Amino acid sequence: MRALVIAVLAAFLLGVLAVMLFSRGDGLGVGDMFRLRSDTAPEATMPLGAIGDPQPVTVPAGAAEVVVQEARAAVERVEQVEVQAGGIDQRVAAMEQRLTRLDLQSQAAAGNAARAEGMLIAFASRRALERGQPLGFLEDQLRLRFGDARPNAVQTIVNASQDPVTLDQLIVRLDGLAPELTDIPEGQGMMTRLGHELSQLFSIRTDDTPSPVAERRLERARIALESGRTERAIAEVSALPNPAAAADWLADAERYRAAQAALEVLETASVLEPRELRDAEGQRVEQPSPAN
C-alpha cells in the first residue's frame, strides 16, 4: 500500500511538471495550440493581406435562437390570419341569412299592407251601398284588387251600386205593402177565400213553430230587416197570402242580399286569398312566411 501511494504521488508530480513545461511561452508549449476565450472576447481573424486564406464566418451569440423565434412568430401570424378568415366567412354567412330573413319579413309586411288596404276598400264599398251612394273610385279599386280573385262578387257589387237599395227603403216599402200582402189576391174563388179566412181563425202548431198568421209574418219580416237578416225577411214575405204584390220589393231585397254576400266574400278574400289578390299597383301579392 505504501508503494502504491508513493507511485501515485510521483505520477502527480510528474504531471504537474509536464504542465508547467508545456505552458511556457517559448513557442513549444501547447498554449499556442489551444487557447481558451470567452463568448465576449473579440474574434481572431486572419490578416486581410493574406491572399488565398478563407475569411472566417462568425455567428453572433443567440442568433440561431432569434431566427427560431421569428419563424415561430411567422407561423403564429399565419394561423391567426387563417382563423380570422374563417371568422369572416362565418360572419358573411350570418349576414346573408339575416338579409334573407329581412327580405322575407319585408315581403310579408308588404303583403299584410296590401291585404289591409283591400279590406278597407271592401269596408268602404259596404258603407257606400248601405247609404245608397255610388261607388265612384271604389269601383276601379274593386276591379283592380279583386277582379282576378273574385270576379263574380265584384260584378254583383257594381251592379247593385248602379241602382242602390238601402235597408231603410226596404223597411218603409214593406210597411206600405202590408195591406196588400195580407189580402187574398183578386181572381180567387169563393172557396179559396173561405179557406183563407178559416185558417186565420184556427191554427194548429207546436210551441216552437212560428205563427202562420199574415200579421205575425209581417212583424217577423220587419224585425229581420231591422237586424240585417234580409234572407229571413224575404222568406217571410214570400210566405204571405199575396206575395205577388211584393214582386218588385222581393227583387230589390234579393239584390241587396246578394250585394251584402258579395261584400263578405271580398272581405274574406282580402285575408285568406293566397294567390290572386292584387295591390294598389296591380301587382300580385306575394307573401312568403318568414319561418320558411
Residue 89 lies in a domain: no
Query: Looking at the predicted structure, is the pLDDT value of residue 18 above 60?
Result: yes
Report the candidate in 138, 137, 173, 150 with the shortest Cα–Cα distance to residue 248.
Answer: 173
Instruction: Provide mean pLDDT across the span 22-30.
Output: 51
Q: What is the pTM of this model?
A: 0.58
Answer positive or negative: Cα dihedral of 193, 197, 202, 205: positive
Residue 121 lies in a domain: yes
Residue 124 lies in a domain: yes
Please state which of the ranges 2-11, 23-32, 61-70, 129-138 shows the lowest mean pLDDT.
23-32
pLDDT of residue 290: 43
At 98, which amino acid appears?
R
Residue 63 lies in a domain: no
Beta bridge partners of residue 278, listed in sequence order: 284
Return the C-alpha cell found at 147. Answer: 277582379
Contact 150, 265 (CB under 8 A): yes
Residue 91 lies in a domain: no
Q: What is the pLDDT of residues 85-134, one digit of tens each?
A: 666 777 777 777 777 776 666 667 777 888 889 999 999 999 999 998 88
pLDDT of residue 265: 94
Q: How many domains does the chain have?
A: 1
Structural domain boundaries enclosing 165: 110-203+210-272
Mean of the per-residue pLDDT values of the chain: 74
* 153 exposure class (CB count in 10 Å sphere: 0-12, 13-18, 19+): buried
pLDDT of residue 155: 95
Instruction: Give CA–CA dist 256/134, Å, rounded.
Output: 14
Contact 184, 242 (CB under 8 A): yes
Q: In degrees rounded to 5, what are phi and psi of residue 203?
A: -145, 130
Report the candidate in 224, 222, 240, 223 with the shortest Cα–Cα distance to residue 232.
Answer: 224
Query: Looking at the predicted structure, is the pLDDT value of residue 233 above 90?
Result: yes
Residue 13 lies in a domain: no
Residue 36 lies in a domain: no
Residue 127 lies in a domain: yes
Q: What is the pLDDT of residues 240-285, one digit of tens each?
A: 888 888 899 999 999 999 999 999 999 999 888 877 888 877 788 8
